[in-house]
Amino acid sequence: MPDTATNLEAPLLVVGGGIAGMTAAIEASEAGLEVVLLEREATLGGRVAKLFHYFPKLCPPSCGLEINFRRLRENPNVTVFTLADVDKIEGEAGNYTVTFTVKPRYVKPDAGDYTEWAKECPVEYEDDFNYGLVKRKALYYPFENAYPPRWVVDERAVNDDEFKTWAQGCPDGGLDLDAQPETHTVKCKSIAWATGWQPYDANNLDLLAYGKHTDIVTNVQFERIAAPNGPTGGKVQKPSDGSEPKKIAFVQCAGSRDENHLPFCSGICCAASLKQASYVLESLPEAEVHMFYIDVRTPGRLEDFYQDRQDVEKIKLHRGKVAKVEPNGDSLKVTAENTLTGKLMTDDFDMVVLATGMQPATSVHAPDGLELDENGFAVQTDEPAGIYGVGTNVRPLGVAETLQDATGAAMKALLMARRS
Ligand SMILES: Cc1cc2nc3c(=O)[nH]c(=O)nc-3n(C[C@H](O)[C@H](O)[C@H](O)COP(=O)(O)OP(=O)(O)OC[C@H]3O[C@@H](n4cnc5c(N)ncnc54)[C@H](O)[C@@H]3O)c2cc1C
């Protein structure tokens, strides 16, 4: 991984180091192309790294990620930059010059293991790996399988006097708080834009009371609550007091298929909630799970996944669009309307999980030259274009479909490399 400013040349630049970007980079390079891969965070892996298990096989994400990290380690044709952001794209299809900045990690490449020392770090910030459920030390290791396997200092800490004083006690002198950003350029023929998705902001859903009670969480937060490397060590607990919830409600289409929020269906939220219902029952066999849905959408092979859970007595499926969630003393009152009969149902729960949808990162930030549809997804063109979306930039997808799309992106890069 380069540490000095460079002028690079590679037929393919991939922006975004989630499962889509990594796969596109690896496959294009294994087919013969030099590739530069940029990731904004301190580690590759994207949002898959934050899942507990992934359907349909319910294996931990480390399986798929480790395979990709090994392929990258063994591959001299992919140059990876983490903490990297594109500044400028100039030129045209077949001949781009892209300028990007790599932020400092503030930890030297040969630094030691700070597991014990970092526990004493006095400065903490909201932990975005755990979707804000807990705080993280300003000196941290992103997660146990992180790639590259390196510590990092949160950039906000570099100007914090308390942190700076503490950092002077670094046991091996491995911190470098004076490190500066570096600017690099890469000349490339095509650009695969794989910046992924973000959870729809549940704070926009006034009637679902997110933010008004800590036991109302989102589906991405629930992945972290169930994960052994998450804030509760994998025990399903109420964030408010750490007690075990006896009755949990999953609210489907929280903001999805709604003209005021996300007008589209993300396609994976129903399967994600059914998966999370299994997390609950594995952790708390006595608990009850209630899922409120408009209609259950589990396309393709996920239909089997749905069928299996329909037979589980403790998973209760209710046809009902949730109209309101209200804190009600110690519990949370959920009101839903049956979408066929119009009848209202009301019940009390210990915890509520909002199944929010996947919003494309391109709806917030996209390069010039990448055509977007009305929801901010990248439009796929018939002809290979110079800049093209990959994975969940194109539509909401599960991992298996994301991998297929990434393989397609690698093929587009090969075509562009040959044409120009
Ligand atoms: C609650 C929930 C549960 C899910 N469970 C499953 C499951 O069990 N099975 C399954 O198959 N799918 C599941 N999914 C879907 C799965 O998370 C996605 O398929 C997967 O994350 C898509 O990968 P990606 O690489 O397209 O995007 P991401 O994972 O979002 O990766 C994008 C990467 O790009 C980086 N990036 C963003 N902007 C920039 C930039 N400007 N410059 C550089 N880098 C940038 C990001 O930091 C990130 O690393 C679930 C989704 C949700 C909401």
Asked if the model's pLDDT at residue 2 lies above 60, the reply is no
**Cα-to-centroid distance, 354 and ligand 1 (Å):** 18
Question: Is the CB of residue 283 less than 8 Å from the CB of residue 227?
Answer: no
Structure tokens at 309: 């859970």
Decide: 198 in ligand 1 pocket, CB within 6 A. no
Does CATH place domain 7-103+181-198+359-419 in 1.10.533.10? no
Q: What is the pLDDT of residue 56?
A: 84
Q: What is the pLDDT of residues 7-63, one digit of tens each?
A: 899 999 999 999 999 999 999 999 999 999 999 999 999 999 999 999 888 999 888
pTM: 0.96
- State the Cα–Cα distance between residues 1 and 3, nearest whole angstrom: 7
- State the Cα–Cα distance between residues 75 and 38, nearest whole angstrom: 16
Q: What is the pLDDT of residues 326-380, one digit of tens each?
A: 999 889 999 999 989 999 999 999 999 999 999 999 999 999 999 999 999 999 8
> Cα separations (Å) of 294 from 33, 239, 309?
46, 27, 17
Helix axes 302-310, 269-283, angle to 10 degrees: 40
**Cα-to-centroid distance, 43 and ligand 1 (Å):** 13
Asked if the model's pLDDT at residue 382 lies above 80, the reply is no
Decide: 395 in ligand 1 pocket, CB within 6 A. no
Asked if the model's pLDDT at residue 1 lies above 80, the reply is no
Q: What is the pLDDT of residues 259-289, one digit of tens each?
A: 999 999 999 999 999 999 999 999 999 999 9
Question: Is the CB of residue 371 less than 8 Å from the CB of residue 1?
Answer: no
Q: What is the CATH number of domain 201-356?
A: 3.50.50.60
Closest ligand 1 atom number to CA of residue 84: 43
pLDDT-derived band at 5, boundaries 50, 70, 90: low
pLDDT-derived band at 420, boundaries 50, 70, 90: low
Decide: 394 in ligand 1 pocket, CB within 6 A. no
Decide: 51 in ligand 1 pocket, CB within 6 A. yes
- State the Cα–Cα distance between residues 61 and 52, nearest whole angstrom: 7
Q: What is the pLDDT of residue 396?
A: 97
Question: Is the CB of residue 22 less than 8 Å from the CB of residue 47?
Answer: no
Ligand 1 pocket: which of 72, 392, 397 to mutate (most atoms <8 Å of CB)?
A: 392
Q: What is the pLDDT of residue 308?
A: 87
Decide: 82 in ligand 1 pocket, CB within 6 A. no
- State the Cα–Cα distance between residues 119 and 121, nearest whole angstrom: 6
**Cα-to-centroid distance, 103 and ligand 1 (Å):** 22
Question: Is the CB of residue 219 less than 8 Å from the CB of residue 189?
Answer: no
Ligand 1 pocket: which of 128, 130, 197 to mutate (most atoms <8 Å of CB)?
A: 197
For residue 40, what are the contacts with CB-CB under 8 A and spacing of at least 6?
16, 83, 84, 85, 195
Decide: 43 in ligand 1 pocket, CB within 6 A. no
The conformational region for residue 257 under phi > 0 = left, psi -120 to 50 = alpha, else beta, is: left
Decide: 363 in ligand 1 pocket, CB within 6 A. no
- The 3-state DSSP class for residue 177 equals coil
Decide: 399 in ligand 1 pocket, CB within 6 A. yes
Closest ligand 1 atom number to CA of residue 41: 47
Of 75, 93, 1, 92, which is closest to residue 38 (Cα–Cα)?
1
Query: Do 7-103+181-198+359-419 and 201-356 fold alike per CATH?
Result: yes
Decide: 196 in ligand 1 pocket, CB within 6 A. yes
Domain boundaries, the chain: 7-103+181-198+359-419, 115-167, 201-356
- State the Cα–Cα distance between residues 44 and 358, nearest whole angstrom: 19
Q: What is the pLDDT of residue 4?
A: 58
Strands of the sheet containing 315-319, edge to edge, are 216-218, 351-356, 247-254, 288-293, 315-319
Question: Is the CB of residue 121 less than 8 Å from the CB of residue 166?
Answer: yes
Decide: 194 in ligand 1 pocket, CB within 6 A. yes
Decide: 275 in ligand 1 pocket, CB within 6 A. yes
- State the Cα–Cα distance between residues 128 and 231, nearest whole angstrom: 12
The angle at the Cα of 177, spanning 174 to 181, to the nearest 5 degrees, equals: 110
Decide: 398 in ligand 1 pocket, CB within 6 A. yes
Decide which of 177 and 7 is more confident: 177
* Protein residue with its CA nearest to atom 7 in ligand 1: 54
